[in-house]
Structure 1
């Protein structure tokens, strides 16, 4: 029978007593310990309002209220002959019923040791992509790409439903939290991590995740919820959509349930892994202010690439070699990723110092006062202007005079291995 203990402090004679309480028999025993102590209040258990002792802790997130998500799912193989597989695995509970998630899973043709793995999270209107999984298998990873809309790849509904009306998703009622697409999508991602953990060929300590657009959004939640991940690549997606995004500009309603339990900003502070964030500097859906504030919430190493004309979609990130290089740096013993040691504005100069030599650098700035809300180039000129700048003698530091009328500015750099990275964007104090 489990007993619960409360520490009782006697201030006068400076002793403390452990009172061991058995909730069923109401019997107690006392152990007296002589300790020089003043006033300490220590509770090893929480006493509920009813007077009963309870050791129940509040879940870290809605997904932790269903701990089965973090264990190996049931799997039904569609194509069980490798190295390229297809399968259904068990997802979350939707409207009181079990769901199944369709996925493609690929591994390298020859594996002699345990290998790293990647969870590949599609964006809006997407599906499971076998070519994406095969691409990462070609890099030396086990990779899973799943359909987050509750469908198989023939379009048949096999799991939960995705609301057609986006507003219905943002305006989630508390009672519908666990049936919302946001919850179910992340549940399916967590279960994909659990699937990878169950595979004998996978190194459990080297599981990464990559998400594009809405997949980047869902990845932003997952990195703060699932501690089994070791690295992440987030393309376009971010949190704080209720502060600034295409949906706020369109007048969508964001419920308090969404803001407090579903938006990535609630969970990003828990993320301690290295994350590579990529975005277009004029992205229509996930603007730079929400993107940057989301990045700054994390506790782990944080890397950014703000790319001019980095078109929103799948093809561009699929062809971005830096994404593989970043994953290799943290999951496959690749070359160390370049780190920006410091960056900011000093007087009228934008400056940055990097731990590796810079091959090329550009100051990127805009003169448009409403640049945050412009996602297309204006006729006759660009919203953002690039100016090539030089490094100092060490090759590891850059500084450049900020144009007088610039309202936002950042530095974009490339090292000798063609890896590209960016500083935060900055707004000069006199132009805020």
Structure 2
């Protein structure tokens, strides 16, 4: 009988950290100076109730309580793992940084994304934002789906708190609160990254949840009414609903109050998140708290969006005080020379200047040219001759000897 009790005790304490939750820090909503804040950040700061679906294997699955939808309770499906679990070990006493992973349009909770970050040393959680489970079927207590109706057109008649963005932001913040409750997660070292629509959500979530120390939105940005793609569904709303959507659901409303360090990752020819609204979005974050990574001809997709290792290097530099990414100054134009200065403990390997005079094509069809940048390691500058034909859009892209890339901001003439 005694041995049975010992085994029972071990089975409830060794298996997983959900039995040993700790106090979760609160979001400081006082710094978000908007006239009508839609989200109850105090409530979202609390760790949600959890139903564990799978407590074995390297990646665990669960349902956690979401916010009510159309007056009814909801649950959100998610995957979770950490460096101990991914190696098949019980959760030990060591703590790890945490990361919240937010999928994009048409996506789901990606198990392999959680595996990647757990293998890289993080406690990682990825949630489904379409009211679905691991099998792709609607949950019994599902929130809104992720189609255009729930994102846009329903706004004409629906309550703001029944819109997809309200629920997606709430679910991501609740996932963070859950992560922070685990004893193996260092509550002072958490980050968030999301892809496409998940990048859009990352801008919102990182602005509202100042418990995060770092954020890496991939592709996604604000100023949706200026997007080559999203200005269309917004434009189909009535004038009043357009104003309401931009006021409550566009990241431009909240980014001025964001507290984390940001890494902005995008391509120069992205179909959904084009140059001008992207430039306006990152400009809302002070230069001292942002790093740019404009990757030439970057493809759009979930896998393409989680591949850049710059995201991990950036998180490591912020959360674990590792070697930072190259820091670059604004580009100056002096006579016929474009020049920027940089700071980096790692030598810069290469640099190029990309530019375009194509002002008539859609963003993904815009034609770009490139020319070599000259790296001066002694003076820590990078320069390139101003193109003879001039340019409307331009940026420097450089890599250090770790093969880690960063860029300047866009130059827009």
When the two structures are superposed, what TM-score results if normalisation uses the length of structure 2?
0.83
Of 69, 79, 89, 2:44 maps to 69
Partner of residue 28, structure 1? none
Verify the 8 A CA contact 2:105 2:146 in the aligned structure 1. Answer: no
Of 317, 324, 327, 1:329 maps to 317
Partner of residue 47, structure 1? none
Deviation of the 1:167 alpha carbon: 8.2
Verify the 8 A CA contact 2:330 2:409 in the aligned structure 1. Answer: no
3-state SS of the aligned residue for 1:333? coil
Cα distance, 1:80–1:263 mapped onto 2, change above 3 Å: same
The within-5 A match list for 1:103-122 is 103-109=78-84, 111-122=92-103
Partner of residue 203, structure 1? 186
Partner of residue 282, structure 2? 295
Structure 1 or 2: more helix by fraction:
2
The within-5 A match list for 1:261-340 is 261-299=248-286, 301-340=289-328
Deviation of the 1:315 alpha carbon: 1.7
Gaps of 5+ in 1: 1-56, 378-382
Verify the 8 A CA contact 2:227 2:272 in the aligned structure 1. Answer: no
Deviation of the 1:163 alpha carbon: 5.4
Of 343, 350, 357, 1:355 maps to 343
3-state SS of the aligned residue for 1:261? helix
Q: What is the CA deviation profile of residues 232-265 of structure 1, one whole-angstrom value per residue up to 9, with x for unaligned ones?
A: 1110000001123312257543622111111000
Aligned mates of 2:57, 2:210 — CA distance in 1: 29
**2:376 aligned with 1:392:** yes
Structure 1 residue runs of 4 or more that deviate by more than 3 Å after TM superposition: 57-60, 163-168, 249-254
Q: What is the CA deviation profile of residues 151-181 of structure 1, one whole-angstrom value per residue up to 9, with x for unaligned ones?
A: 1121222211225335862662485200000
Partner of residue 113, structure 2? 132
Partner of residue 181, structure 1? 164
Aligned mates of 2:275, 2:156 — CA distance in 1: 29
Aligned mates of 2:350, 2:153 — CA distance in 1: 42
Of 352, 373, 376, 2:365 maps to 376
Greater Rg over alpha carbons, structure: 1
Deviation of the 1:188 alpha carbon: 0.3
Deviation of the 1:191 alpha carbon: 0.3
Verify the 8 A CA contact 1:127 1:149 in the aligned structure 2. Answer: yes
**2:160 aligned with 1:172:** no
Aligned mates of 1:359, 1:226 — CA distance in 2: 36
Cα distance, 1:287–1:374 mapped onto 2, change above 3 Å: closer
The within-5 A match list for 1:243-262 is 243-248=226-231, 251-253=235-237, 255-262=242-249
Q: What is the CA deviation profile of residues 283-330 of structure 1, one whole-angstrom value per residue up to 9, with x for unaligned ones?
A: 110101111111111246111111122100022233222121111111
Partner of residue 133, structure 2? 152
Aligned mates of 2:172, 2:277 — CA distance in 1: 23
3-state SS of the aligned residue for 2:73? strand
Verify the 8 A CA contact 1:364 1:387 in the aligned structure 2. Answer: yes
**2:402 aligned with 1:421:** no
Aligned mates of 1:61, 1:349 — CA distance in 2: 46
Verify the 8 A CA contact 2:151 2:164 in the aligned structure 1. Answer: no
Q: What is the CA deviation profile of residues 338-360 of structure 1, one whole-angstrom value per residue up to 9, with x for unaligned ones?
A: 21133233344322111023211
Structure 1 or 2: more strand by fraction:
1
Aligned mates of 2:57, 2:321 — CA distance in 1: 26
Two-structure CA RMSD over aligned residues (Å): 2.2
3-state SS of the aligned residue for 2:194? strand
Gaps of 5+ in 2: 1-32
Aligned mates of 1:335, 1:374 — CA distance in 2: 34
Deviation of the 1:182 alpha carbon: 0.6
Aligned mates of 2:184, 2:36 — CA distance in 1: 30
Aligned mates of 2:357, 2:94 — CA distance in 1: 53
**2:72 aligned with 1:97:** yes
Cα distance, 1:59–1:397 mapped onto 2, change above 3 Å: same
